A and B are shown apart, each in its own frame.
Chain A
Amino acid sequence: MTKTILGIILFLVQIGLALFYNQTVDLIYIAVFAVLTFVYILYKYFTGKYKAV
């Protein structure tokens, strides 16, 4: 799970860089969804919901 979280952080950096180059609406929408979902995953991670994995 730790690797996947690192991957998500890497992806968020990549989407941030893409937004720095081109501020397109589509990327902004997806970045918002991605951050919200990441927060939810982090919540599950720190509350031990992914313990079995």
Chain B
Amino acid sequence: MNKENVIKLVMLLAFLALFLQGSRFKAEAKKVVCVEGKCQKPHDHGELNFHERFHVTQADIYPTAVLKSCANFWEANATGMTFAVIIGAAALSLALSYKKFDVLLQLKGVKGATIGSIIGMPLNMCANCSAVTSMSLTSQTGSSETSLGIIMGGVLLNFIGIVTMFGIFSPAVVISRIVFSILMITVVVPFVSKMVAPGVESPVMKTALLDQITCHFPEKSFPATILKSFEDWMISVGSIAIKLIPLMLLGTLITSLFRVIFPNSYFEHIESYSPILVIVIISFIATLLSVPVLFEILLGTVLLHLGFSNGPIASMVFAAPAFGLFTVVLTRKKLGGLKVPVILLVITFLFAVGAGLLADFLTKFF
């Protein structure tokens, strides 16, 4: 490993450490306070059961409600998505100049999915942000398995989320979520990746500037190498941002369009339906929703307070953070069109129904 790659690796780890220490752990702690009902401003909670700048009311006409919801989603995701670009670009810059890392990203099958999920796990991000990181990192090379593994690992294997859920929900809910998360990563990801036509998956973007990063840089001095590493990172940021930020805006808008159709008040009407129908409806809503990290737990607590059983709660905490409308928009190009992302969306829905049924079944043992 040459000096340039060592600096790039240190940069990547430093960005991740800065993000986790400076923003992410604090944001997660704030959400846990709200989840536990110890929040000082519960009246300030909006549609996501968390503090929101623009309150969507019933008096709002549809376009106003969508715009407000979109602004709230964008704000909730702002720090995470910014860091997703920062970290994704640092990882891309490293992958372009360090071939061994690049080879790792090209692994296929269960291996690729597992490696991806291991890379995704420490990110502590929701599907939206981890999709941005994943699409950045694998924009030049990298298999579909690794790309999807990063997204799923970041979302479903979030350690803080799992620990928080054990403190709030029945173990039946958490066990059900863990079982279906592992199945999603080890079975579904390799299965759907086979449907991606060979040669389609990379590169997502082509720019001669990124090709320059792969060239060996004569290491004249340590400061010059540091400067080159920062320059490579910034060029990667620029190349990614121009492609992904407009898609991020589109994804957020589509999620908001859907969210306004099914607000939290909708859940109150379906509570009296048959248990299986409730699980199916909640799974459908949660699948199309793309919520920021740990917001699935906040939505789970909404269902808990409304008196829903463990089944619908398990469906919500599995599907809401997983593959959703936002992720479909972002991964479309990497996965060779809409077919594979839509199949993943359908499988997420079916798994959410499965998670709900399993949680209801397991409830008798706890």
The answer, among B15, B79, B242, for a CB contact under 8 Å with A4, is B242
Contacts of A30 in B (CB 8 A): 15, 18, 86
The answer, among A7, A10, A15, A37, for a CB contact under 8 Å with B233, is A37
* Contact indicator per residue, chain B 78-101, by CB within 8 Å of chain A (1) or not (0): 110110011000000000000000
Is B238 in contact with A8, judged by CB distance below 8 angstroms? yes
Is B234 in contact with A41, judged by CB distance below 8 angstroms? yes
The answer, among A11, A21, A26, for a CB contact under 8 Å with B241, is A11
* Contact indicator per residue, chain A 36-48, by CB within 8 Å of chain B (1) or not (0): 0110110010000
Contacts of A33 in B (CB 8 A): 230
The A/B interface has a contact count, at CB < 8 Å, of 90
Contacts of B235 in A (CB 8 A): 4, 41
Q: A22-B78, A24-B22, A29-B18 are in contact. Are A40 and B227 (CB under 8 A)?
A: yes
Q: How large is the interface on B (under 10, 10 to 19, 20 to 34, 35 or more residues)?
A: 20 to 34
Is B57 in the interface zone, CB < 8 Å from A? no
Is A18 in contact with B18, judged by CB distance below 8 angstroms? no
Number of A residues contacting the other chain (C-beta, 8 Å)? Answer: 30
* Contact indicator per residue, chain A 11-26, by CB within 8 Å of chain B (1) or not (0): 1001101100110111
Contacts of A21 in B (CB 8 A): 75, 78-79
Taken together as a complex, chains A and B put the C-alpha atoms of A34 and B231 apart, in Å, by: 9
Nearest chain B CB to A24 CB, angstrom units: 5
The 6 tightest CB contacts between A and B, nearest first, are: A26-B22, A7-B242, A7-B238, A4-B238, A8-B238, A26-B18
Q: A7-B237, A27-B22, A37-B233 are in contact. List 14 more A-B contacts (CB 8 A).
A: A3-B239, A4-B209, A7-B241, A8-B237, A10-B242, A10-B245, A14-B245, A18-B79, A30-B18, A38-B234, A41-B234, A41-B235, A53-B208, A53-B209
Query: CB within 8 Å of A: which residues of B?
Result: 15, 18-19, 21-23, 26, 75, 78-79, 81-82, 85-86, 207-209, 212, 227, 230-231, 233-235, 237-243, 245
